[in-house]
Structure 1
Amino acid sequence: MHPTPATTTGALRPVTSRNHLYPVLLCLVLLLPLGARAAATDVAGVPLADHYSVDGTSLVLNGAGIRSKFFIHIYVGALYLPETSKSAASILAAPGPYSMQMYMLYKRVDADKIRNGWTEGFRANVDGDGFAALEDRLRQFNRLFTDLKKGDVVRMDYAPGKGTSIRINGQPRGTVPGRDFALALLRVWIGEHPADDDLKRGLLGG
């Protein structure tokens, strides 16, 4: 028979249940700045928020990785979607918004290399007729980029009906219209011929 509190004798001992710590810990978390609570993922020293908003729609971090070339880290890439998916085909078939973000790690990448990289990525992942339809807008997109250096942040946000808006270090650079352009741009990273296979796996949450 187990003793009840009424039959137990001796000095009372302080209650040390961990449950009493939960309200205190919750208060401490709530006192943290929002950015500190949101940044739960770290890639190569770059903190990435779990959530991001495009045109009023809340997106979640689908995945992230490092773009490397000849064993040199160029940037951290992060992909935000309305809901997570490990399927490139499903992502490219979805009509919703997305945000593709680049956090520069390399000391400096000049504008010509950036523009050539975009053009090569489009050519590799879009067929001839499709590329011809995008060519003028690709030139418009390329003109939005200047040299990028370590610490720069590029955000490419697609909002259906509005287009793909580019911000560099928080400053608006311009918007390129068309869902076809937005999907072609996304194929540069998660298409059949991505710029970096390891980065593709990371963006797909692999």
Structure 2
Amino acid sequence: MKKITLVLVALISLSTATAQIRVGKAILPYEENFGDTDLKLNGAGMRKVLWIDMYAGGLYLTKKSKDPKEILDADETMAIKLNIVSGFVTQKKMIKAVKDGFNRATFGNTKALDERINKFIKFFSEPIVKNDIFDIVYIKGKGVTAFKNEKELGVIKGRDFKYALFKIWLGDEPASEEIKNGMLGIQ
């Protein structure tokens, strides 16, 4: 009886450890761990342009929230995962989208962040192809660490930078209302 119980516990643990959600053609995990902090998928959505799926985005938090202001203001480890599902997402288009996003997020007042924005944009120096996965992770006390396909690209310090960066997807003028609502779990 004990062996059967142990086998069942092991199988249940294995199935929850690999639990994933499908968002369009993308697959996102339910859980991630960054900076020794366990994060759970708060929600996910798809960025579409003219009915074409561009990328899936997932927001990972320590505890679920539907309040974008609370999330943006929080000084807690959190992450955004972007899973590229279209060849239409290119390096050039990503750089333009990031620049436009920072302009919207800061109401055109990027001066205090310009040096860090330029450093962040350099993270997109290599070609972007379908199935690339970017993790944008804010680690409390460290800053924003960016990853491409699990390879660390660099760290940018400052909670103000995290606020503006996450506001690209969660702000009043997000990259997409659909992806914002998905990340907030209100779709």
Question: Which residue does 2:118 correspond to in 1?
Answer: 139
Kept after mapping to 1: 8 A contact 2:46/2:178: yes
Normalised by the size of structure 1, how large is the TM-score? 0.82
For residue 73 of structure 1, the aligned residue among 53, 70, 83 is 53
Counterpart Cα distance in 1 of 2:10 and 2:22: 21
Percent sequence identity over aligned pairs:
32
Which residue number corresponds to residue 166 of structure 1?
146
Deviations 1:38-82 (A, max 9, x none): 324221143322221121111111000101111111111000011
Tell me the equivalent position of 2:181: 201
Unaligned runs of 5+ in 1: 1-19
Q: C-alpha separation between the residues in 1 aligned to 2:6 and 2:129? A: 39
> How many residue pairs are counted as aligned between the two chains?
184
| Residue 33 of structure 1: how far off its partner (Å) | 8.0
The one-letter code of the counterpart of 1:173 is L
2:90 corresponds to which of 94, 102, 110? 110
Do the aligned partners of 2:43 and 2:184 also contact (CA within 8 Å) in 1?
Answer: yes
Q: Is the 8 A contact 2:113 2:161 kept in 1?
A: yes
Deviation at 1:101, TM superposition (A): 0.5
* Native 8 Å contact 1:41 1:49 kept in 2: yes
* Backbone CA RMSD of aligned residues: 2.2
Are the aligned partners of 1:64 and 1:79 in contact in 2 as well (CA < 8 Å)?
yes
TM-score (norm 2): 0.89
Instruction: Pick the structure with greater CA Rg.
Output: 1
| 1:4 corresponding residue in structure 2 | none
Moved over 6 A (4+): none
Higher RCO (Cα < 8 Å, 6 or more apart): 2
